[in-house]
Chains A and B, each alone.
Chain A
Amino acid sequence: MKPILERLKNEILLLDGSMGALLQSRGLPSGYAPDLWNLERPQDIQQVHSEYVRAGSDIILTNTFGSSRLRLREYDAEGQIREINRAGVDLARRAARDQAFVAGDIGPSGTTIAPFGDLPFDDAIGIFYEQARILLESGVDLIAIETMFDIQEMRAALIGVREAVSGRIPVMALMTFNNDGITDSGSDPETAASVLEGFGVDIMGLNCSVGPEAMVPVVRRLGQTTSTFIAVEPNAGLPVHREGRTVYPANAEEVARFAPQFVEAGANIIGGCCGTTPEYIRLLSRMLKGTAPISRPSPSLLKISSRTHMTLVGPGVPFLIVGEKINPTGKKKFSEAIAAGQTDLIVAEARKEMEAGAHALDVNVGVPLVNEADMMAKALTAIQNVVQLPIVIDSSYASALEAGLKVYPGRALVNSVNAEDERLEEVLPIIKKYGAAVIGLVSGDDIPEMAVDRLKNAEKILKRALELGLSPRDLIFDTLALTVSAVQEASRQTLETIRLIKRELGLPTILGLSNVSFGLPARKLVHDNFLAMAIGAGLDAAICDPYDAVLHQTVAAVSVFVGRDPDCRIYIEKSEQWVAPEAGDTRKKDAGPQKPLTTVEAIRKAIIEGERESIASLVQKALAEGESPFVIFLDYMTPAIRHLGDLFGQRIKFIPHLIAGADTMKKGVEVLQPYLESDGPVEKKGTVVFATVKGDIHDIGKNICILMLRNFGYNVIDMGRNVPLETILEAAREHKAQIVALSALMTTTMMQMKLAIDTIAERHLPYKVMIGGAVVTTKFAEEIKADGYGKDVGAVVGLAEQLIQACMETQPPA
């Protein structure tokens, strides 16, 4: 037979259909591993293969989908891994004879892969390597990795499989997409294509989970992204469970009628997954006889991706801004955090860079005496939890680059390799293994002065990369921006190198921008202008300061002139953010001059609006202006918080407003306190012992109620949470409390409130009991005879006032 990849250039090839459905009809019990039948019922397996070959399948998949060590362990068949896989290949080979290719089928591991899941990435690689090795030794024509829901697991599978087959046979890699065209792990077709292309798979595509209709647009998107051959295996519709079995409702005709659409969208191989039959393959064979695949343009741009998004780099697409801020150089706090193994500042910076408009993030965690490999893995894991931008992994250490690439579930860009032999041999094999892309620095032992010599270094890097099996689309060159104040000619050579690399190699370029302006005043002005010149020369990306607003404006403006922004759409869209509000906003002018607030009015406003940062200075200012502390407190602060309470009652303001207002008042009162107490302690309105009941550990509501009560002049004893009743009563006695306030959030703990009320009644203790909490209701409060129930924090002050009043009436002060 002609090699499969040769045939795919001119033919549409057919895969087989479902194995499981046919085995079920031969008596395979539900839940039993089909792979075990390779040894137990070999004739049945061979018969199914033969049916597909007779129906017209050009490629049949071995019955080894679940024959990895991990999957076989579920059936205590781990010890038979070799026999089961070998038998699977033999049976397929006997059925195929010389009429069909035999693809060694590998399915997912059945668990989740680190860093998202439990199975360590290296262990996953080992599991896939082992199965692929056995399949190869058993004589398969290609390996088919199928039904991968998670791009990270696919990465592990591809690394293991590629290591096992070492380029001797083709590799097909199929992901599973949901109805929305996204994988379970959130990857869209373009992202999946970029990752799979990075690994140099021979055939990529999709199978399982959905019917053909939902797969057509995914095939089309893959076809528009890659020139790699595409395979598609739809299910026979969405399954239903009927009479103890999973049933696929679509018949052969209904599935097969989508075949022309698959071909038109770019498919080269069509088969079927769950629920499809030999009849379906027979129909496909008739429909597609003599049909040639459509031709698809070869991709020319570099692709990098996160787990969920792919970004193109090169001419004709938006300029790539790579945020440079995750770098400890010159940042003491950042360095200390990294040295302590903390990632919170890194995560915060990553979010900030993304919000500032970075398209990708450079991550450098190099701090002396820190294990950079461990820290890189930790940092990238933390970043990808909260930011879905492609990452540039930046380190001088190959170990750190590799550690980062293991945990990164997309196609990362590695920063960097240069033309030194040692560095080339250290870094490029890692790039190849993990399917990454790399920045090639055009330096060797030193930085050449002249552009032509820098080009030679780029050529050397490219040559070695190609020798190691990398593609030109795995490379982008850093033409090296040197400090212009030191060597002015160097910057001209940098620009010339950009032009040369573009012209001679046709490859993209990138610059680390900030160095260029070092030593000069108004640095941003210098490097933003240099950036404009570099983009004009053909630069595709820069590692730079994403917080520099002028830089974004420069990029947007220059992009209009160099074909990166068709119809100036991006520029127009972004420019709306740049218009100064004073110039564009006429509302303020129309409103006329506002009367300035007096200081005490500003205090009142601050409380109502929760402006806690300004309150202390406002109170100090009012005191300095001669206002009485009692007037500030009684005539402005207290009415303000009461007004806020009224607005809450009218549902104009809500609990967060009330809390923010109370918090602001508390901060104001802290300033007033020494003045208010200058003639002795201010008399409190009453004493409340407040606790979350025993068994309950929720106290956020209690804390807020305490804040409110204290603001209104109550002496509150905060007992904390999970407090035994006797401890609460002891505190009430000691502090001569009038009120015991109890909080509970669980139905299982609220009965502690009844116990408290009953005990207080039995012992004839003088305390009023008020209760509250998410599960407490008016009805419950009445049933257990609570003296008061607060529905929410807005009710607590009024309730306390009522109960104190009641205390005064029953026990007037002596």
Chain B
Amino acid sequence: MPAMRIGTPVFFNNIPFEIEERQILREMRIPRKAFLKELDEPGLAKQIEEAIGEGYRLIQGKGVYRTLALTGIEEKRVLTHESRTLFVGEKMVKLLRYCDFATLLVATIGPDLENRVDALAKDEPAYSFFLERVGAWMADYMGIVIDRTIEKEVRRFGYGRTFRFGVGYGDWPLSTQKEVMELTQAHRIGVSLTESFIMVPRLSVSAVIGWERTLDVPDKKAFQTNDTADQQENEDDA
């Protein structure tokens, strides 16, 4: 059996990717269209197509995850060997109360696309917007790739996974971002924080996934994975 990778950050430096038109159109909130050729406006389709093409050239997907053993729960906080101040808030207790482990993840598309977006912002704001939307989806995509890897590891050891909970959502303070970055050594994938705890590159994601003892969870199906629930709950929290 493969060893559980507890305590050591696991890095991904070149995450392979595909930019799906369907997802980009979804990211741009254009409903009922799966492909650019379905758009009635060839000019718009061309700009989005160019942004996707540029995305392929500018995106470099990177990620890291680190699994921490949970040692107990106190009021409104879940404890680990490494920290008493990381998993704080009612939402965290609710998320991790049946968990033995929690995995922090950080993923990014790197700085190049974002720099290009910024460079274009003044003179080409529309194209800059399209390119930024491509980057926004792809940052999520990189997060999903790391999420899937964690999920496989969780299952291999007989656990179920919780949904992915973003840092700063609900009552999980954004200030814990600092500990997340330090514990995952996110600087090694090029992610840092502003003084307001915003990730740089902005097109990055950070989150936690719990390793749940599914047999202990009342009324929960074993091995439930539900990204929609994740998104919904995160959005509600926002």
Is there a chain B Cβ closer than 8 Å to A610's Cβ?
Answer: yes
B149 and A184 contacting across the interface, CB-CB below 8 Å: yes
Which of A114, A246, A722 has a CB less than 8 Å from the CB of B13? A114
State the Cβ distance, B116 to closest chain A Cβ, in Å: 10
Give the residue name and chain of the A residue nearest to B69 (CB): A31
Which of A241, A654, A699 has a CB less than 8 Å from the CB of B159? A241
Count of A residues near B, CB < 8 Å?
A: 79
B12 and A748 contacting across the interface, CB-CB below 8 Å: no
State the Cβ distance, A638 to closest chain B Cβ, in Å: 18
A611 and B42 contacting across the interface, CB-CB below 8 Å: yes
A748 and B40 contacting across the interface, CB-CB below 8 Å: no
Is there a chain A Cβ closer than 8 Å to B119's Cβ?
Answer: no
Is there a chain B Cβ closer than 8 Å to A597's Cβ?
Answer: no
List the A side residues contacting B3 at CB < 8 Å: 33, 66, 71, 74, 107, 110
Which residues from 733 to 762 on chain A have a C-beta closer than 8 Å to any C-beta of chain B? 746-749
State the Cβ distance, B152 to closest chain A Cβ, in Å: 6
A117 and B13 contacting across the interface, CB-CB below 8 Å: yes
The CA of A71 and the CA of B5, in the complex, are separated in Å by 10
State the Cβ distance, A148 to closest chain B Cβ, in Å: 10
A704 and B126 contacting across the interface, CB-CB below 8 Å: yes
State the Cβ distance, B98 to closest chain A Cβ, in Å: 10
Is there a chain A Cβ closer than 8 Å to B219's Cβ?
Answer: no
B215 and A242 contacting across the interface, CB-CB below 8 Å: yes
B238 and A240 contacting across the interface, CB-CB below 8 Å: no
Give the residue name and chain of the A residue nearest to B198 (CB): A697
Is there a chain A Cβ closer than 8 Å to B34's Cβ?
Answer: no
Which residues from 269 to 285 on chain A have a C-beta closer than 8 Å to any C-beta of chain B? 273-274
Asked if A117 meets B157 with Cβ closer than 8 Å, knowing A107-B2, A611-B42, the reply is no
Asked if A657 meets B41 with Cβ closer than 8 Å, knowing A351-B53, A703-B129, the reply is yes
Please tell me which stretch of A321-329, A382-390, A461-469 contacts chain B, meaning at least 4 of its Cβ atoms lie within 8 angstroms of it: A382-390
State the Cβ distance, A782 to closest chain B Cβ, in Å: 18
Asked if A385 meets B61 with Cβ closer than 8 Å, knowing A238-B155, A247-B158, A656-B30, the reply is yes
Is there a chain B Cβ closer than 8 Å to A662's Cβ?
Answer: yes
The CA of A747 and the CA of B1, in the complex, are separated in Å by 44
Is there a chain B Cβ closer than 8 Å to A706's Cβ?
Answer: yes
Asked if A344 meets B16 with Cβ closer than 8 Å, knowing A242-B215, A610-B43, A613-B43, the reply is no
List the A side residues contacting B31 at CB < 8 Å: 654
Is there a chain B Cβ closer than 8 Å to A116's Cβ?
Answer: yes
B198 and A112 contacting across the interface, CB-CB below 8 Å: no
Give the residue name and chain of the A residue nearest to B156 (CB): A209
List the B side residues contacting A614 at CB < 8 Å: 43
Which of A110, A240, A656, A749 has a CB less than 8 Å from the CB of B222? A240
Is there a chain A Cβ closer than 8 Å to B91's Cβ?
Answer: no
A307 and B16 contacting across the interface, CB-CB below 8 Å: yes
The CA of A665 and the CA of B85, in the complex, are separated in Å by 52
A706 and B29 contacting across the interface, CB-CB below 8 Å: no
A746 and B4 contacting across the interface, CB-CB below 8 Å: no
B28 and A111 contacting across the interface, CB-CB below 8 Å: no
Which of A241, A696, A748 has a CB less than 8 Å from the CB of B168? A748
Is there a chain B Cβ closer than 8 Å to A664's Cβ?
Answer: yes
Is there a chain A Cβ closer than 8 Å to B213's Cβ?
Answer: yes
Asked if A697 meets B125 with Cβ closer than 8 Å, knowing A111-B10, A115-B13, the reply is no
The CA of A657 and the CA of B122, in the complex, are separated in Å by 19
State the Cβ distance, A273 to closest chain B Cβ, in Å: 7
Is there a chain A Cβ closer than 8 Å to B15's Cβ?
Answer: yes
B10 and A657 contacting across the interface, CB-CB below 8 Å: no
Residue of A117, A240, A344 most packed against chain B (CB within 10 A)? A240
Is there a chain A Cβ closer than 8 Å to B44's Cβ?
Answer: yes
List the B side residues contacting A209 at CB < 8 Å: 152, 156
Asked if A609 meets B12 with Cβ closer than 8 Å, knowing A209-B156, A241-B214, A749-B196, the reply is no
B4 and A703 contacting across the interface, CB-CB below 8 Å: no
List the B side residues contacting A347 at CB < 8 Å: 56-57
Is there a chain B Cβ closer than 8 Å to A300's Cβ?
Answer: no
Report the contact-size class of chain B (Cβ under 8 Å from the partner).
35 or more
A386 and B17 contacting across the interface, CB-CB below 8 Å: yes
List the B side residues contacting A343 at CB < 8 Å: 57
A344 and B125 contacting across the interface, CB-CB below 8 Å: no
B238 and A609 contacting across the interface, CB-CB below 8 Å: no
Asked if A116 meets B14 with Cβ closer than 8 Å, knowing A697-B198, A700-B117, the reply is yes
State the Cβ distance, A354 to closest chain B Cβ, in Å: 11
List the A side residues contacting B152 at CB < 8 Å: 178, 184, 209
A241 and B213 contacting across the interface, CB-CB below 8 Å: yes
Asked if A118 meets B13 with Cβ closer than 8 Å, knowing A110-B5, A208-B2, A351-B53, the reply is yes
State the Cβ distance, B122 to closest chain A Cβ, in Å: 8
Which residues from 588 to 612 on chain A have a C-beta closer than 8 Å to any C-beta of chain B? 606, 609-612
Is there a chain B Cβ closer than 8 Å to A707's Cβ?
Answer: yes
Which of B17, B40, B130 has a CB less than 8 Å from the CB of A656? B130
Give the residue name and chain of the B residue nearest to A612 (CB): B43
List the A side residues contacting B121 at CB < 8 Å: 699-700, 703
Give the residue name and chain of the A residue nearest to B2 (CB): A147
A344 and B196 contacting across the interface, CB-CB below 8 Å: no
Asked if A239 meets B157 with Cβ closer than 8 Å, knowing A347-B57, A746-B196, the reply is yes
List the B side residues contacting A699 at CB < 8 Å: 121
The CA of A31 and the CA of B194, in the complex, are separated in Å by 38
Interface string of A690-718 (1 = CB under 8 A from B): 00000111111001101100000000001
The CA of A241 and the CA of B5, in the complex, are separated in Å by 17
State the Cβ distance, B11 to closest chain A Cβ, in Å: 4
The CA of A418 and the CA of B77, in the complex, are separated in Å by 68
B43 and A609 contacting across the interface, CB-CB below 8 Å: yes
State the Cβ distance, A126 to closest chain B Cβ, in Å: 19
Residue of B6, B12, B14, B29 most packed against chain A (CB within 10 A)? B14
Is there a chain B Cβ closer than 8 Å to A357's Cβ?
Answer: no
Which of B1, B11, B57, B194 has a CB less than 8 Å from the CB of A117? B11
The CA of A655 and the CA of B129, in the complex, are separated in Å by 10
The CA of A384 and the CA of B13, in the complex, are separated in Å by 13
Is there a chain B Cβ closer than 8 Å to A520's Cβ?
Answer: no
List the A side residues contacting B124 at CB < 8 Å: 663
A31 and B6 contacting across the interface, CB-CB below 8 Å: yes
Give the residue name and chain of the B residue nearest to A107 (CB): B2
A348 and B56 contacting across the interface, CB-CB below 8 Å: yes
A654 and B30 contacting across the interface, CB-CB below 8 Å: yes
List the A side residues contacting B128 at CB < 8 Å: 700, 703
Which of A66, A274, A654 has a CB less than 8 Å from the CB of B29? A654
Which of B11, B60, B196 has a CB less than 8 Å from the CB of A748? B196
List the A side residues contacting B158 at CB < 8 Å: 239-242, 246-247
State the Cβ distance, A28 to closest chain B Cβ, in Å: 12
Is there a chain B Cβ closer than 8 Å to A659's Cβ?
Answer: yes
The CA of A574 and the CA of B213, in the complex, are separated in Å by 52
Is there a chain B Cβ closer than 8 Å to A660's Cβ?
Answer: yes
Which of B12, B155, B168 has a CB less than 8 Å from the CB of A747? B168
B127 and A663 contacting across the interface, CB-CB below 8 Å: yes
List the B side residues contacting A659 at CB < 8 Å: 125-126, 129-130
Is there a chain B Cβ closer than 8 Å to A186's Cβ?
Answer: yes
Which residues from 195 to 209 on chain B have a C-beta closer than 8 Å to any C-beta of chain A? 195-198, 200, 202
Chain A interface (Cβ within 8 Å of chain B)? Answer: 18, 20, 31, 33, 66, 71, 74, 107-108, 110-112, 114-118, 147, 149, 176, 178, 184, 186, 208-209, 238-242, 246-247, 273-274, 307, 343-345, 347-348, 351, 381, 384-386, 388, 606, 609-614, 654-657, 659-660, 662-664, 695-700, 703-704, 706-707, 718, 722, 746-749, 775
A to B CB contacts below 8 Å, 29 in the list: A66-B3, A107-B2, A115-B14, A117-B13, A184-B149, A209-B152, A241-B100, A246-B158, A307-B16, A384-B14, A385-B15, A385-B17, A386-B16, A609-B41, A609-B44, A611-B41, A611-B42, A612-B43, A612-B47, A656-B29, A656-B44, A659-B126, A660-B126, A696-B196, A697-B200, A698-B202, A706-B125, A746-B196, A747-B174
The 3 nearest A-B residue pairs measured at CB: A663-B126, A239-B158, A344-B57
Extra inter-chain contacts (17) besides given A239-B158, A662-B126, A695-B194, CB under 8 Å: A110-B3, A111-B10, A114-B13, A115-B14, A116-B15, A117-B13, A184-B149, A241-B100, A246-B1, A273-B1, A348-B53, A351-B56, A611-B43, A654-B31, A664-B43, A703-B125, A704-B126
